[in-house]
Amino acid sequence: MATFPKLKTNAIAQYPVARREQFQNQTVRFVDGSEQRYRDSAGARLEWEIQLSQLDEGELAAIEEFFLARQGAFGSFCFTDPWDGHVYDDCSVAADELPLVTEGEMRGSTKLTVVRNI
C-alpha cells in the first residue's frame, strides 16, 4: 500500500498540525431516567490537518502527484501519525481538492486533511 510522502527532512507534517478524534455514540434514555449507550460506528474517526509551507519544488510536486495517484479522496494509503508515530493502514485524503501555491523559488505551500477510514 502507498505511504503518505515525507518531506526531505523526513517529517510528515509541520507545525501547526491538528489531530481530531471523534466517536459516534448513541444514547437511549428511558422513562425512569436511566440510559443505555452504544457505539454507532465501527471505530473512532481520526483526522489530521496537515499544513505545509516553505516546500521546495520536489516536495510540492511529490504531494501533488501523491494526491493525483490516489485520485483524491478515493484511494487509501498508510499514514504515520505525526503525534505518536503510530502507522494507520487505511487512510485517505478527506477532500477531492488540493490547493497548491508557489510564492517563489523553494516557497511552496499546501494543506490537506487526512482521515482514517473506518
Residues lying near another protein in the complex (CB under 8 A) are found at 8, 24, 40-43, 45, 56-58, 60-62, 64-65, 67-69, 71-75, 92, 96-107, 117-118
Query: Residue 19 or residue 45: which is nearer to another protein going by CB?
Result: 45
Q: Copy the grid coordinates of residue 87.
A: 502507522
What number of other Cβ atoms are within 10 A of residue 2's Cβ?
A: 12
Which residue reads 474517526 in cell numbers?
45
List helix spans (H) across 15-81: 57-69
Report in angstroms the alpha-carbon separations of 72 from 10, 68, 94.
Answer: 23, 6, 8
**Residue 114 β-bridge partners:** 48, 93
Query: Residue 33 or residue 100: which is nearer to another protein going by CB?
Result: 100
* Minimal distance, residue 13 CB to another protein, in Å: 19
Query: Residue 18 or residue 96: which is nearer to another protein going by CB?
Result: 96
* Minimal distance, residue 33 CB to another protein, in Å: 27
In single-letter form, the type of residue at position 116 comes to: R
* Minimal distance, residue 32 CB to another protein, in Å: 28
Q: Are 110 and 98 within 8 A, CB to CB?
A: yes
Query: Residue 31 or residue 105: which is nearer to another protein going by CB?
Result: 105
* Minimal distance, residue 1 CB to another protein, in Å: 15
